Amino acid sequence: MKTAHQRIQEISKVMNRAVEKAAEKHRLMGVPMAVWKDGKVVEFLPEPTRAPRPKKEK
């Protein structure tokens, strides 16, 4: 049986990955993300990732 701490770590890891995927989709579509910051809704366009993208074959 997993401890509460282990379950929280797993949930946090899954949530962080979901946010990364959502940010990538928004970045690819050029659509700003809406996030909650300092008690307000803020829109921003996620910056490109630093990892190299695969080159398309010609």
Domain ranges of the chain: 4-44
What tokens were used for 38? 């300092």
**pLDDT in the model for residue 47:** 78
Between these two residues, 57 and 25, which has the higher pLDDT value?
25
Provide mean pLDDT across the span 15-39: 92
- Residue 39's identity, in one-letter code, is G
Max Cα–Cα distance, the chain, nearest Å? 52
**pLDDT in the model for residue 46:** 81
Cβ contact 33:26 at 8 Å: yes
Mean pLDDT of the chain: 86
pTM over cut 0.75:
no
**pLDDT in the model for residue 17:** 95
